[in-house]
Each structure stands twice: as structure tokens, then as C-alpha cells.
Structure 1
Amino acid sequence: MARARRSKERGDRPLTTAQRLGSIVKSARDIMRKDKGLSGELDRLPMLVWVMFLKFLDDTEKIRETESALRGERFVPAIEPPYRWRDWGADPGGISGPELISFINNDEAMRPDGERGPGLFAYLRSLHGSEGRDRRDVVAEVFRDTNNRMISGYLLRDVINKVNEIHFDSMEEISVLGHLYESMLKEMRDAAGDSGEFYTPRPVVKLMVAVTDPRLAETVLDPACGTGGFLVESYLHLKDQCKKVEDLEVLQKKSIFGGEAKPLPYMLCQMNLLLHGMESPQIDPENSLRFNIREIGEKDRVDVILTNPPFGGEEEAGIKGNFPDDKQTAETALLFLQLIMRRLRRHPRPWRAAVVVPNGTLFGDGVAARIKEELLKEFHLHTIVRLPNGVFAPYTSIPTNLLFFDRSGPTREIWYYEHPLPEGRKNYTKTKPLAFEEFAPLLAWWQDREENGRAWRVPVEEVLKYDEGGSLLSANLDIKNPDGGEKLKHLPPEKLVESILAKEERIIEIMDEIKWALR
């Protein structure tokens, strides 16, 4: 019934396709380039995001309002008149110029209803839930550090009118928002490379969530959540498990947690989660590394951690002091790995983590080796998936790996799986990226493991090396595929024979294919 009414209200308005969305975003950014208050894309992108956030929020609130009316229920909006998008943004000939800038920026201003009151941002920052945390708290958090940098209210009105062409009132249109994220992330890649933040491709996120398999009533954390890819995928994974109203209550309030210190990804994360159905995402807007990890107790721990922490960056001295003296480092990836280990619940049940790390983490010595020693002795590092070059293109060409570990006991052996590039390809690119379907062999192997040309296992004794006095010499997890020509001695004779026979069979197949092609 609600869908039918919505269709009627829409009339003949065309859907906002991915192509049209890209065109709208480009036009809005072209307008912003004319404004002297914005000096570059890292100024323009946050502007575009907060404008879109308010448009998106109003569209979704219209849907909820209609559905509540059909159920005979009272609807409580997150934003009251005259601060809703429909009150000041929807009319192309509405408030503009200096009046628009004053309404948005000032603590007190003339409102669109002709009365004086708090300005838009002042009002949004003052919101709070009436009974516990709700969408109003999320809006207040999003706008706490958000500012309008545009000087011209006329240009800002033009941007608002462009964004007003995007409609978030159908599932078809909501599904294309990912294209907006992608266009923004492409513009951020240079800055991302400088700070070591590489946004995780959706197929990698889906794989990590699928094999980690979060269950309803478990708590899921991403302490470096960026735009929320892992949290959204986990939310959808858990939502499929909900069978009753009580399950949805658990999912909404007790399941999904994140942390993101940078304002733009933080806002995108909130918008992403709200868009997918979370009422009030619980995202910490500060540095997840700011706590002394020696003081983290059971109440701070979670059941599942899924993350791609920043790497290659450096943390300040105050952050390093939150870690044990012999494991202090400025390398963010190693600090986050320690945080993840400390925040994983300690009970005997195999609480688990999946983490993206660069190759440097695998072979690093010194502090890195001591951290890996703790990981192997106190956790079960059961699987390392080695990803080929280009998976994270265009953000980085650094080879990356996926670590999977849990609390089921110390590591005795580690399974490695080398994900191959598609046949005939030298790497992935931004125009030919990784597809989730390529993980089908890995997913099949995950449930029924045996060594083959892509999978091998290594006893922990070959990783942890000690001198005669028992001091740690190295903890090298950078073990190459023995079937790739290195370390063949690790294969037992029968497996070596099987590998050679498999290669011979493949050579015969290729020769047959060539003969058939030459007919």
C-alpha cells in the first residue's frame, strides 16, 4: 500500500540512475568551483556530502511518515519544521543569497517561516534523543564539526537545486548511491595515499564478512570504519537472520559499532548506515587508538572485529604511549593490530577477527615481530589470504593480505591461500577491478580445506624463530606459495607428486585447446 502511494506521489518523475547521479554530482561540483570560499576537492566534497545528507534524510523521513500514517502511528521526525529540507531546500526559488548563508551559518537568523530563531547548523547541533539514543543524536554528531565554507549564497542555492534532483524515495534510487561514494573516493585517493587510508573494495568486504559469519546477538566492531563498508555489510548479514521484532531491536541497538576520526568519512559512514536502515549508528568520532590498551577490560570487548586499518601513516607520541613499552611504534597498522587483539572478547568461544594488512606487517622485525609473537601465542591465526597486486587500485599498489584469527587457542599451524589473478591478467585496475564471483573457489575451499596449488599450511615453528637463549629472532609470516617454485621442500613427497601431475594435466589441456583453435 505504501509503495503504491509512493509511486502515485512520484508521478512520472524518472528514476535517478547511476549515470544521472554522476551527471548531477559533476554539475554541483562545477558550480562549487566558482565559489571563492572553497579551495579544492577536500573543501568541496564535505560541502556536497552535508547537503546530500539533509536531502537524503528528508526523503527517508517522508517515507517513514507515510508508513506511520498508514499504520495509524504517530511519527516523530528527526528534524522539525522549518529546518527540514522541504522547508528551505526543495523550492528552486526559495531562500538564497546572503539570507541563505545567514540561515545556515549564524547562531540566530531569520528562518524560512519568517520568524527569528536558531540558524540551521546551530539547530542541528542542538538535537538530542528524548528517550535514549536515536536519529536526532546522529544528526547532531554529524554536524558537530561540519561547517559551510561557501561564501556565495546564490551559488549555494544552485548547488542545492542540483542536489534536489536526486531522489532517495525508492530502493532503485537508493541502490545507486554507491556510485556517488565511488566518485568521491576517487577524488580522495591522493590524500588517502598520503595518510595510508585505502578504502576496501566491496568484494573483499563481502568475503571477510561471509567467512567470519557474524551471528545475531554478537557485537561487531570496525575501529577504523571509514565510510562504513564493513559495518553496512555486517548489518545486512545480520538483518537476514532477524525473524521477529525483538531480533530487529537487538540488531539496531546492540550489534554494530565503529570508530572514525576524520569528519568526511565519518559523515559518509553515518549516511551509509542510515540509508541501509540503521536508526542510530553508534560510531565513535574520535581516534580509536586514544585509549590505554592496558586498561581495556571485558566490558570494552566485542565478539567480532572486521577492519582495514590505515597503514603507512604515523601516530603522535601521545598515542604511542598507550601501548606497552616493548611494542610502541608510530606505524598505525601495528598499533591497530594490538588494539584489535586487546578488544576481542576473551571467553573460550572463538570470538574472531578479520583484518587487512600490508606485506610489511607480515615480514617486519623488531616491534612488528614481538606483536606477531603475541598474536601467534595468544590467538589462533588460522588463515592468511594473500591478495594479488591491484586489488586496492587506484588507492595503492601495495600487496595486501587478509588475516583471520580467533580466541580458540594458540596457533599451531597457519593455512595460506593465494588468490589468483584472472587468467591472462597481470593485475587489477580501476577499470577492471576484482569481482566477488572470483572468490568462489576460496569460499568452497574454506569449508573443506586441503592443500593444492593455491593453498598450503605452515607449522608455527617455521614462523617463530628463537636463539639458543630463547630470545625471539624473527616472526616472518611472509611465506611464499611452495607450488610457485619456492620452498618446495615444505611439501611432503606425495603432495609434490600430485602437484607435478596436476601441472602436467593442465599442460595437456592447454595443448588440446591450442589444437582445437587451429582447426
Structure 2
Amino acid sequence: MAATRRKAAEKAPVTTQARLASLIKSARDTMRKDAGMNGDLDRLPQLSWLLFLKAFQERVEEEGEALDPGGYRRAIEKPYRWTDWATDEDLSGNELKTFVNDELIPYLAGLDREADRGAEDPRNVISLIFKDVVNRMQSGTLLRDLVNIVNKIHFISHDDIHTMAFVYESILREMRDAAGDSGEFYTPRPVNRFMVRQSFLELGETILDPACGTGGFLVQAHEELEGRVKTETQQRELHANLKGIEKKPLPYLLASMNLLLHGVHAPRLRRENALLTMRNSQAADKVDVVLTNPPFGGEEESSVVTAFPSAFQTQETAWLFLYSILDQLKLGGRCAIVLPNGSLFASGENSIGAKIKKKLMKECNLHTVVRLPQGVFAPYTQIPSNILFFEKSGPTQDVWFYEIPLPEGRRGYTKTKPQRLEEYDDCVAWWGGKTREGREAGERAWSVPATEIIADGYNLDRSNPHIGDELAHRTPEELVDELVKTEEEILRLLTELREGLGGER
């Protein structure tokens, strides 16, 4: 296999970062000329499914044949393999467009028709992706140009993969920028890297992100554990244990591509509504670890809401995800989840939020709440957020809070100056390792007894007691920002109260 890879790599130009960035730019310039492409929300999916097929050809099919010459059965048959049609430059114009629209995509979407297929079969992933793929390019000539550009991108060597993964992250960032306009935003790398690291993952554990988006948490978990793999059996088990659920087709495609680039050839991703999937799950579906940043501030349709017990029915997605995760964890399982301040603040005996937090603190040890600095998810939202870490190991006794400060001299984050992973170093040092031993209160850390939280209506929105006297030293701009933050929390609370009273949203 190594010899085969070396020969292929010798024929292909070196895929430097600069060369790849240039090819991606050429691809996007080509798509801009096409009348059927309207912005990045059309162009990026078009580029991604083509890149997926090229990467699948080189990383799965050719690698499989090299490992098992004569015995490997390709997932994609002739004439639908990338090498059959994409490299045939005589196939162009309307002939190419007709082939792609009427033959290629329907064939790929129909690859799940065979019965008794194992979950590890890559045809399952391909069929799920291409059920929602549409070729939006109207010009077959421009489509030919685009395919020719993608054909110059290679996934053969380790350096190629590293380069493509780096550039693909920039594509995902631009996808997040485009999606942010429609109310969707994804977890910054420092946040999901910190959450994965502080979850102390182990080989053999099942890891789920029920709102996996573009797959950031699963990729980080894979990177965390991959270096510990010693055998092929362990590698297969690791890939099988990384599970994601995503209901929207575009993020599902991007997550599949993301995991493929990181060596997971048959990602265990489900294209479903995670809330219904978790409600209908069996004991065998329970997992060891949940890592997630569920959508919040949105509303679910009534058919989803009514699938939950009447006392916990709400259209607020964050609450529904938290409730579902509590039931999805194995005994002894653990979770790291991002929640907005409004979720922490919701209190009162009849509040659905308080009821779910009561369930959380009764069934689980909510040992740590990390309060994120303002604007971590900027520019997509300014809603203050937190990371909750808990274990399904019995009732909560005390909750530790740790406040991540903004870097000195900064008033927030931007697209060009986002949060850095190093900003979590002090929290990691304070954490106390896997067993959380030796934690001490300090300028950024404090502990609150569960009895106090319960007496306060399960209000987890606890301010740092060590910096209460700094108000007089804050700038007018900071005070206004704080007022805006408070008003947002009040509005969220009033909205939930109205929902509880049966009013219209």
C-alpha cells in the first residue's frame, strides 16, 4: 500500500496550502459565473459533494484495493466512479449535466437499497448524503470546469490530508458565516477542544453529539483518542463509537466530509431529528459521553414537543435537548453541554427550566459550570453562554463555577480576533484532573452548595462573588453591555413565563 501511495504521490503535484487555496478560489470563481448558484449557501455544498467524491475515491476505494487486491468490492460501481466520469474531459456540456442530474446523483442516493448491510458499510453514508444533494449548476460547461479543478486536488499523502483539512476548516468557517445569517452558528474550535479535553475520554467509550452540525466535536474526540490506538481492532472500534445526529442535509454533508478527511471512512452519522431519535431510543442506544452545543433560542414543531412527558413540554430546543441527554446517558456516563445564560437563570417551581434542572441535579452530579466570556460566539450571537459538565452518578452536592475572563485589554471577540485555546489554560490547571482533586476557590472559581441552588428555585446563574466590588471601576461601555445582557435574560424569562401561562409566543 505504501508503494502504491508513493507512486500516486509522485504523479500528482505537491498539494501545498497555497496551491490548494488557489484551487479552491478558482473553483469558487467558476461557480460564481453560473446562473444557478446564489451565494455561498449554494456554492459551498456544490463544492463539498464533489470534494467528497474525490476524497472517497482516493481515501477509501483506492486504499481498500491496495489493502485487499482482487478482493475489495468498491462501494461505487462503474460508470459512477470518479475515475469513470470526472476524468473524462470529453464528457461536458449538457451531456455531463444530464449524466450528473439524471444518473449519477440518483444512483448514489439509491445505494441503500440492499438489505442486511452492516453499519460500517460506506454506502450507507453515501446514500444519506446524496438523497439531499442537488446539482445547482445550470451550465454543463462550467460544471466541467469545476470538476477539472477538483480533479487537481489530491488526498493521497498524509501531507495532502493535513493541508486539505486545514483549508477545509476555512471552508467550514465561511459556511458558518453564511449560515449565521439564518440563525445558525457553530462551536468555535477552542470551545469544543476544551470540552473534549476536560471530558477525559477513553478508548472503548461511545461518544455522541446529538446536534453534530459540521462534526467539530466528533473530529476533536477522534484527534484526542487516535494517538492511543494500537491495533486495527481498536481503530475500528473508535470509528464505530463516534456517533452523531444531524437533521439538516447541508451540515450532515459537511460533517461526513470532515470526518472522512480525518480518516473515518464510514462515519456513524444519522440524518434525523435527534430529539425524536433519543426519545425513541432503547437501552442499547445509551452512550458513555455526550459532547454537544445544541441549538438554543429556537422552537420545535408540536409533534416533537408532544413526544415528551407533559410536565416537560416546551418549544425551547435547549431544554428538550438537555432533558433527552439525561435519558440518553448510561449510568456513570458524563456530558459537556453548552447552554445560554437564560437557561441557567430560569427558576420557579412551575418553570419547565427549573423542572429539568431539578431532574439534572437529582440524577447527576453537576460538578462544574464554566462561564464563558461575552462574545465567544460573535459575530453570530452575543448571547452569554456556559458549559455544564455533569456525570450520571447520583445527586449533586456542590457546584463549582469557573469564570473564563476576556483577555486583558479586550472588550470582546470578532471574526478576525476570535477566542484562543490558551485562554482556557488557567481553568485546565485549576480543574484537578479527571478526579477534580484539590480545587480551590479563587478570583475566578467559587463553589455553591446544591441546597442553596435548590432553595433559589434551581437558579444556576451565579455571579462571581470575588469581583462584586469592581462595579465602580467599570467603563460606561462595559456597564451598557451588562445592561443589554440583563435585558436579554429578562426577555427570555418573560417569554418562558408567557409560554407557561398558555399565551401565544
Q: TM-score, normalising length from structure 1? A: 0.83
**Residue matched to 2:483:** none
Alpha-carbon distance between aligned partners in 1 of 2:167 and 2:376, rounded to the nearest angstrom: 18
Is 2:311 aligned against 1:326? yes
Tell me: CA distance 1:247–1:26, structure 2 relative to 1, closer, same or farther (3 Å): same
Count of paired positions: 459
1:292–1:323 contact (8 Å) kept in structure 2: no
1:88–1:94 contact (8 Å) kept in structure 2: no
Q: Give 1:21 shift.
A: 2.9
Residue 30 of structure 1 aligns with an amino acid whose one-letter code is D
Alpha-carbon distance between aligned partners in 2 of 1:291 and 1:168, rounded to the nearest angstrom: 34
Alpha-carbon distance between aligned partners in 2 of 1:65 and 1:243, rounded to the nearest angstrom: 20
1:97-496 matched pairs, under 5 angstroms: 97-106=93-102, 119-128=103-112, 131-133=117-119, 134-176=121-163, 177-195=165-183, 197-253=184-240, 255-291=241-277, 293=279, 296-345=281-330, 347=331, 350-365=332-347, 366-447=351-432, 448-465=438-455, 474-485=457-468
Gaps of 5+ in 2: 433-437, 472-505
Deviating more after overlay: 79-88 vs 14-23: 14-23
SS at 2:393 equivalent? coil
Say which structure, 1 or 2, has more relative contact order (CA 8 Å, 6+ apart). Answer: 2
1:64–1:75 contact (8 Å) kept in structure 2: no
**Residue matched to 2:39:** 40
**Residue matched to 1:90:** 87
Tell me: CA distance 1:486–1:478, structure 2 relative to 1, closer, same or farther (3 Å): farther
Q: Give 1:329 shift.
A: 1.4
Alpha-carbon distance between aligned partners in 1 of 2:130 and 2:47, rounded to the nearest angstrom: 13
**What is the CA RMSD across the aligned residues, in angstroms?**
2.4
Larger radius of gyration: 1
Q: Give 1:9 shift.
A: 3.1
Residue 362 of structure 1 aligns with an amino acid whose one-letter code is L
SS at 1:336 equivalent? helix
**Residue matched to 1:113:** none
Q: Give 1:191 shift.
A: 3.3
1:20-39 matched pairs, under 5 angstroms: 20-39=19-38
Q: Give 1:428 shift.
A: 2.4
Tell me: CA distance 1:163–1:300, structure 2 relative to 1, closer, same or farther (3 Å): same
SS at 1:303 equivalent? strand
Gaps of 5+ in 1: 107-118, 467-473, 489-519
Residue 102 of structure 1 aligns with an amino acid whose one-letter code is T
Q: Give 1:306 shift.
A: 0.5
SS at 2:366 equivalent? strand
Q: Give 1:13 shift.
A: 4.7
**Residue matched to 2:479:** none
Q: Give 1:336 shift.
A: 0.8
2:278–2:324 contact (8 Å) kept in structure 1: no
1:55–1:164 contact (8 Å) kept in structure 2: yes
Residue 381 of structure 1 aligns with an amino acid whose one-letter code is L
Tell me: CA distance 1:263–1:181, structure 2 relative to 1, closer, same or farther (3 Å): farther
Q: Give 1:363 shift.
A: 0.7
Instruction: List per-residue Cα deviations over 1:50-97 (Å, max 9, x = no partner).
Output: 11111111121365156426xx67332222232221221134x33111
1:231–1:257 contact (8 Å) kept in structure 2: yes
